[in-house]
Amino acid sequence: MLSTLFGSENNERVLIFILNRDEGYASEIAHFFDATLYAIQQQLDKLENGGVLVSKTVGRTRVYEYNPRYPFLTELKALLEKAYSFYPEDVRENLEMNRRRPRKKDKPL
């Protein structure tokens, strides 16, 4: 949708994913969009270096979120929200319907 502006489809994917989930890590984003891990990691690095995202380590995973101090954050999110409204319904549903509640360690399902 915005890849012409952002220069890459995976860049847009990363931004849209984190817009919806508030945070994300490379392998889950790559898995969700069926993209290569390397390509997603590259975009995460690029966005972090540009100050758009920030990251922290949770266990052994590097988790990314929007940088609340990015000066164009409000405007960027508004643009992404607009683009997202044009996304296919199944993609939107899958992005929005993910389990957030806790899951007990030994639970079979």
Partner 1 sequence: MKSIANMNEAELSAYIQSHLKNAGIDVVLSGGSAVTIYSENKYVSKDLDLVNVYAANRKKIKTAMTKLGFQEEGRYFTHAKTKLFIEFPAGPLAIGEEPVKEIVEKEMPTGTLRIISPTDCVKDRLAAYYHWSDRQCLVQAQYVSQAQAVDLKEVRAWSEREGMLAKFEEIKKELK
- The helix (run of H) or strand (run of E) holding residue 57 is strand 53-58
**Dihedral (Cα; 20, 30, 28, 88), 10-degree rounding:** 40
Give the shortest CB-72-to-partner 1 separation in angstroms: 8
Query: 17, 32 in Cβ contact below 8 A?
Result: yes
Round to whole Å and give the CA distance between 89 and 106. 33
One of 4, 57, 74, 85 touching partner 1 (CB under 8 A): 74
Query: Binding of partner 1 at residue 88 (CB under 8 A)?
Result: no
22 vs 90 by CB, closer to partner 1:
22
4 vs 49 by CB, closer to partner 1:
49
Query: Binding of partner 1 at residue 51 (CB under 8 A)?
Result: yes
Round to whole Å and give the CA distance between 54 and 68. 9
Give the shortest CB-50-to-partner 1 separation in angstroms: 5
Q: Which residues bind partner 1 (CB under 8 A)?
A: 49-51, 68-69, 71, 73-74
